[in-house]
């Protein structure tokens, strides 16, 4: 019986794995530049960690979590997002004794959604979190960090930054009540999914992708009409700091994000190249979440980025390194060829050897694999203590010594 991969999952290999590795490298580079420390958490946690923070009526909790009972009947859940596990880890390991704490993580998440372009049931995310800072600059720092990562990975793509403010608790409470009253008028016109949210989760209707819902949302109350003085001031400072950083942005009053823990700043980096799954990075401020999970009453702000969605927009040539293949033409020449092979590796030059001892087959493999160079070892090379370096793109080749080839390839 041929066993197929589970629906909504995918294997990473070849060029896709090169892209994934490139993203990891860039993420870790900018994490270091911005002063973030890496953290790795288990892929499953107590279900209670997600239920209340994500919202009992959120789609994630109601429909999408992979939850199961352990042998001792405790309820466990494969992590559907990374913010709450990172906060839990910070609390568990006493990392919040000193704040602000700047943490980042990369790893798989799990949601039982309908698989489609850019959306999987097991997918990879990068997350950045700043715990313990109320400074508006921490919000903007995270936005600038996200911009730098996307610019590095997708230099030719048009990426749009949208921002909004959900205000403080007072603002959000009044806004939700106003939305509930408004959507009641359209309860027969809304999609079935949105009808269910009127009483318990009216804010989430603004996030609907249904065409009819989008039309209704266009005339819904605007949160900006409910801002307290504090919320208005905070949002104005965010915009001012972004302007000072010369970062273009759009204000989107319907931007709410999909989880219940957000307040004040919310933002998304979007693209027009992926259809409905257009958000590459999204996040915002979540004051009160750390306390809800069992920690101190400190603030937090962070974002998550979908690695597979970014991979879909990357060109293969962005991740190609100079690839070198060694071709030993006869098995009798293996000892001589192996001296060169080991010398290349000792000098940290990646080199592939296919064990075929067949010039035609090895050249064909190198061409099909987009290798840049092949190094050929034949009897003439053995007799003259040389090797042939051939550039596949131009077809040019020359005989060089072992020392020379190391110098050339290191450049």
Give all strands of the β-sheet with 373-377 in edge-to-edge order: 352-353, 324-328, 373-377, 387-391, 397-400
Q: Tell me, yes or no, whether 181 lies in a domain.
A: no
Average pLDDT, the chain: 91
Q: Is residue 58 located within the same domain as residue 122?
A: yes
**Same structural domain, 256 and 138:** yes
**Lowest-confidence region among 33-47, 52-66, 80-94:** 52-66
For residue 326, pLDDT over 70 is answered with yes
Tokens of 123: 């997918």
Q: 133-137, 203-207, 290-294, 376-380: which range is least confident on average?
A: 203-207
Of 98 and 256, the one with more pLDDT: 98
Categorize the per-residue pLDDT at 232 as very low, low, confident or very high, splitting at 50, 70 and 90. very high
Q: Is the pLDDT of residue 258 over 70?
A: no
Is this structure's pTM higher than 0.75?
yes
Write down the pLDDT at residue 277: 72
Q: Is residue 223 part of a domain?
A: no
Banded model confidence at residue 400, pLDDT cuts 50, 70, 90: very high
Do residues 239 and 374 both lie within one domain?
no
Q: What is the pLDDT of residue 316?
A: 65
355-369 tens-digit pLDDT: 999 999 999 999 888
Given a cut of 80, whether residue 161 has pLDDT beyond it is yes
Residue 56's pLDDT is: 66
Distance CA 168, CA 324 (A): 57
Candidates 114, 171, 131, 127; CA nearest to 38 is 127
Residue pLDDT, tens place only, 84-116? 999 999 999 999 999 999 999 999 999 998 888
Residue pointed to by tokens 């016109």:
189
What per-residue confidence (pLDDT) applies to 14? Answer: 86
Q: What is the pLDDT of residues 264-323, one digit of tens each?
A: 999 999 998 887 778 999 999 999 899 999 999 999 999 999 999 999 999 865 545 568
Residues 233 and 380 in one domain: no
| pLDDT at residue 133 tops 80 | yes
Q: Can you give the pLDDT at residue 254?
A: 83
Pair (51, 152) in one structural domain: yes
Q: Are residues 330 and 310 in the same domain?
A: no
Residue 396 predicted with pLDDT over 70: yes
Residue with tokens 């990075």: 281
pLDDT for residue 353 is more than 90 = yes
Most confident stretch, 113-122, 255-264, 285-294: 285-294
Q: Is residue 212 part of a domain?
A: no
405 in the same domain as 260? no
- Going by C-alpha positions, the residue among 183, 184, 192 that lies closest to residue 215 is 183
Query: If you average pLDDT over residues 34-51, what whole number do you get?
Result: 96
User: 394: buried, middle or exposed (CB in 10 Å: 19+, 13-18, 0-12)?
Assistant: exposed
**For residue 335, with 0-12 CB atoms within 10 Å meaning exposed, 13-18 middle and 19 or more buried, which class applies?**
exposed
Give the domain extent around 296: 14-168+228-316
172-178 mean pLDDT = 88
Contact 308, 17 (CB under 8 A): no
Residues pairing with 105 in the sheet: 127
What pLDDT does 319 receive?
Answer: 47
Separation CA 383–CA 148 (nearest Å): 53
For residues 103 and 246, membership in a common domain is answered with yes
Average pLDDT over residues 168-196: 88
- What is the C-alpha to C-alpha distance for residues 311 and 146, in angstroms, rounded to an integer? 15
Among 119, 123, 122, 53, CA closest to 86: 53
Would you state the pLDDT for residue 300? 96
Whether residues 162 and 310 share a domain: the answer is yes
| Structure tokens belonging to residue 357 | 């001892």
Count of domains forming the chain: 2
Same domain, 96 and 237: yes
Are 108 and 250 within one domain? Answer: yes
**Ranges of H-type helices in 154-284:** 169-184, 192-195, 202-205, 211-217, 229-244
**What pLDDT was estimated at residue 113?**
83
In percent, how much of the chain has pLDDT > 90? 69
- Domain check: are 81 and 36 in the same one? yes
The percentage of the chain sitting over the pLDDT mark of 70, rounded to a whole number, equals 96
- Asked if residue 184 belongs to a domain, the reply is no
């Amino acid at each position: 019986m041929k066993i197929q991969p589970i629906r909504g999952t995918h294997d990473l290999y070849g060029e896709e794995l090169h892209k994934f590795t490139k993203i990891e490298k860039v993420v870790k580079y900018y994490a270091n530049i911005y002063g973030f420390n890496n953290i790795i958490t288990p892929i499953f946690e107590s279900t209670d960690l997600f239920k209340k923070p994500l919202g009992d009526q959120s789609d994630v909790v109601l429909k999408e979590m992979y939850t199961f009972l352990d042998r001792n009947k405790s309820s466990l859940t494969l992590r559907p997002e990374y913010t709450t596990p990172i906060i839990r880890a910070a609390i568990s390991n006493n990392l919040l004794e000193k704040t602000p704490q700047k943490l980042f993580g990369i790893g798989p998440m799990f949601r039982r959604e309908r698989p489609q372009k850019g959306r999987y049931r097991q997918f990879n995310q990068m997350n950045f979190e700043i715990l313990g800072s109320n400074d508006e600059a921490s919000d903007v720092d995270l936005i600038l960090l996200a911009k730098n990562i996307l610019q590095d990975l997708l230099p030719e793509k048009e990426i749009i930054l949208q921002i909004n403010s959900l205000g403080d608790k007072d603002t959000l409470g009044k806004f939700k009540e106003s939305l509930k009253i408004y959507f009641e008028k359209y309860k027969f016109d809304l999609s079935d999914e949105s009808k269910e949210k009127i009483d318990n989760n009216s804010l989430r209707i603004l996030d609907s992708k249904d065409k009819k819902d989008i039309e209704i949302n266009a005339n819904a109350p605007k949160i900006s009409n409910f801002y307290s003085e504090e919320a208005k001031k905070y949002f104005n400072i965010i915009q001012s700091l972004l302007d000072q950083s010369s970062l273009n942005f759009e204000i989107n009053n319907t931007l709410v994000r999909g989880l219940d823990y957000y307040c004040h700043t919310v933002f998304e980096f979007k693209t027009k190249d992926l259809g409905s799954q257009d958000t590459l990075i999204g996040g915002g401020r979540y004051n009160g979440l750390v306390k809800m999970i069992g920690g101190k009453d400190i603030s937090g702000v962070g974002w998550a980025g979908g690695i597979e969605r970014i991979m879909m927009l990357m060109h293969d040539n962005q991740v190609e390194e100079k690839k070198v293949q060694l071709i030993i033409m006869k098995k009798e020449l293996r000892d001589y060829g192996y001296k060169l092979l080991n010398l290349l590796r000792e000098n940290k030059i990646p080199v592939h050897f296919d064990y075929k001892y067949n010039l035609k087959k090895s050249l064909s493999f190198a061409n099909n694999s987009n290798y840049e160079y092949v190094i050929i070892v034949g009897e003439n090379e053995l007799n003259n203590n040389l090797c042939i370096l051939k550039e596949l793109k131009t077809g040019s080749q020359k005989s060089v010594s072992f020392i020379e080839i190391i110098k050339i390839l290191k450049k």
